[in-house]
Structure 1
Amino acid sequence: MKSVLSAKHFHDEEAAYKFVEARLWPNGPVCPHCGGVERISKMGGKSTRIGTYKCYQCRKPFTVKVGTIFEASHVPMRHWLQAIFLMTSSKKGISSNQLHRTLGCTLKTAWFISHRIREAMRVNGLMMPPMGSGGGVVEADETFIGFVGGAKTSVAWSNKNIVFTLVERGGSARSFHVDGVRAADLMPIIRQNLSREAQLQTDEMNTYSYIAKKEGIDHEAVKHSKDEYVRREGDRLITTNTVEGYYSIFKRGMKGVYQHCKEKHLHRYLSEFDFRYSNRIATGYDDLARAEKALKGVRGKRLTYRTTNQ
């Protein structure tokens, strides 16, 4: 029996660079400064940093870190790879405190690493195909978590963060931090992410019925107020149990592992849980394949936190 964590790229810095280069540059080095692929050579010498190349078109040196979440980071590449594997293979996430203890880095560094990996997991919505194509079932629901500004009130969910999620049965999940649960808040999301062929299944909230009618989407609802959670109509199973199962994992992670989340960072935590759910065993991804997919998402997503509006 051999542990996946015994792989050389998790322990040797040069092997870690080669591992990342093979995934980000499958056809050979690409200069991040000018985009050139010719007249590039690897630099040698005892004082040269590991993985440094020089482009003789723009005459600038570079490594595979440039233009990625790794840029300007002093964290060893092997530790980045360890952190990516731990975050993508932990079903409910792994806290910065745990990363700090496991990697032997400071808590501040662990927090730095984890937020950048969440950014690598984030998928550009414009690149995603519509959900429910070909008549697939898409479940939708909303939940409330945390407190806006950190203050509690006695008025139900009035000052909580609102999360809206679409889950394609047997497929992917997409979650959004929204301002409310009115049609004006949810309709643009449904319009952008759902195929007109989709079967939308929700609870009995009137907003969903209104949106489905307005958009011409096939819609069925289960009546939780009458203790109805599953209904069968012919060969169709009407339920929201799939999206509620997603929320059970999300809330266990947010409350049990992360415990605290500022409103401005919530979208990245949603990306993390969406990524793991959408790339689970049932969709053909094991832990190693999921980690490699996250690694391929590191390009063009550098975070600096130098401004107050991040």
Structure 2
Amino acid sequence: MDITAPRFTDETTAREHLEALRWPEGPYCPHCGSFAATRLPAQRGRPTKAHPEGAIRAGVIQCNDCRQQYSVTVGTVFERSKIALHKWVLATFLLCSSKRGMSSHQLARMLGVTQKTAWFMSHRIREAMRPTEGEGPLGGEGKAVEADETFIGGKEKNRHKSKRAVKRMGGSWGKETVFTLVERDGKVRSTHVQSVTAANLRPILVSQVDKATMLYTDDAGQYRHMNRDFRHEVVNHGKDEYVRGKAHTNTVEGFFSILKRGITGTYYHLSAEHLHRYCVEFDFRYNTRKGTDFERCMTALKGITGRRLTYRRSAQVVA
């Protein structure tokens, strides 16, 4: 919990910390999967413009079978990074422990890096927070899932006349739409959608919610025929009905309050092409809310394996 702990300030300790997390049974080769390995002594790499004499290469391991060399960062989101490893570990802890997130400007000040570097580091860490493929659907027999949508963006009246947008079908004036599913006492899943029409939302519901689930929504038109796929109850917000027995959407509204406080109070502005990454971040913190900050950080660090995010791919527009 102490940001002055050795793993946050010392390169070697941070490497050992990651090795213990990624290789609890000892190092294995990411190239061939062999556990036969030899640790090499620290050695100088090739001369570069930044390091004319060659930077010290520490933590290098050689596979005894395929003879390839690797380190704990190979095959992770930290691979080929010039940033010190202890700064990566500290950045992960700060992003995991800040309930409403941490801006790249603040992260840059705390790590001693540029804002551009901190921004890219944040997106790599969010990639590690992304849930693994193949997770089962939410809900199930005897369980309840709430579904609702919210709109992300500033007030239209505050925009310049030339920047004001035309209202989209099923959306809001110039805003981006986030559709969220929350299992009561369970996990949350958020999706950036183009609009909240039934044609857009039904495939998400069918693929991510178990058919035996009790689904709770408000009285919006896009949910009108969801009883074809689920047991479905509606609360009529149009008539000031917010709770009727077990029927309510207060859980998902509570998640939206955290999401919007983070965006409004911490990030201020984020582009539509990266909104899905911020949704991953807030989903991750909500889904690990029952653990400590340290446990949440360890979960994120375990998720770095098998994922890469280059700057070119992070900066491109996601359709």
Normalised by the length of structure 2, the TM-score is 0.88
Which of 286, 297, 303 is the equivalent residue of 1:277? Answer: 286
The residue aligned with 1:219 is 232
The residue aligned with 1:91 is 99
Q: CA deviation at 1:297?
A: 0.7
The residue aligned with 1:153 is 165
The residue aligned with 1:133 is 140
Maintained 8 Å contact 2:15/2:85? yes
* Residue segments in structure 2 that go unaligned for 5+ positions in a row: 45-55
Maintained 8 Å contact 2:166/2:174? no
Which of 39, 42, 57 is the equivalent residue of 1:42? Answer: 39
Query: For each residue in 1:190-246, what CA deviation from the matched residue of structure 2 results, as whole angstroms up to 9, or x when unmatched?
Result: 111111121111100122131x2221x1111111111111111xxxx2111110110
Distance in 1 (alpha carbons) for counterparts of 2:94 and 2:7: 14
Maintained 8 Å contact 1:100/1:107? yes
Maintained 8 Å contact 1:85/1:291? yes
Identity %: 48
Distance in 1 (alpha carbons) for counterparts of 2:17 and 2:203: 40
Distance in 2 (alpha carbons) for counterparts of 1:228 and 1:213: 20
Q: In the TM superposition, what are the counterparts of 1:70-219 in structure 2 within 5 Å?
A: 70-124=78-132, 126-146=133-153, 151-153=163-165, 155=167, 157-210=172-225, 212-215=226-229, 217-219=230-232
Distance in 1 (alpha carbons) for counterparts of 2:205 and 2:75: 33
The residue aligned with 1:286 is 292
Distance in 2 (alpha carbons) for counterparts of 1:173 and 1:163: 12
Please give the secondary structure, in 2, of the residue aligned with 1:41.
strand
* Residue segments in structure 1 that go unaligned for 5+ positions in a row: none
- CA RMSD across the alignment: 1.7
Query: For each residue in 1:1-20, what CA deviation from the matched residue of structure 2 results, as whole angstroms up to 9, or x when unmatched?
Result: xx532432112111100110
Maintained 8 Å contact 2:42/2:58? no
The residue aligned with 2:52 is none
Distance in 1 (alpha carbons) for counterparts of 2:173 and 2:149: 14
Distance in 1 (alpha carbons) for counterparts of 2:42 and 2:152: 53
In the alignment, is residue 230 of structure 1 matched against residue 227 of structure 2?
no
Letter in 2 for 1:182: T
Distance in 2 (alpha carbons) for counterparts of 1:54 and 1:279: 36
The residue aligned with 2:14 is 16
The residue aligned with 2:53 is none
In the alignment, is residue 258 of structure 1 matched against residue 264 of structure 2?
no
Q: CA deviation at 1:44?
A: 0.7
Query: For each residue in 1:73-118, what CA deviation from the matched residue of structure 2 results, as whole angstroms up to 9, or x when unmatched?
Result: 1111111111111101111100000000111111111111101001
Query: For each residue in 1:153-198, what CA deviation from the matched residue of structure 2 results, as whole angstroms up to 9, or x when unmatched?
Result: 3647143211100001111100001121112101111111111121
The residue aligned with 1:30 is 28
Distance in 2 (alpha carbons) for counterparts of 1:258 and 1:288: 23
Letter in 2 for 1:256: G
Distance in 1 (alpha carbons) for counterparts of 2:251 and 2:58: 46
Please give the secondary structure, in 1, of the residue aligned with 2:35.
coil
Distance in 1 (alpha carbons) for counterparts of 2:42 and 2:123: 34
Distance in 1 (alpha carbons) for counterparts of 2:250 and 2:198: 23
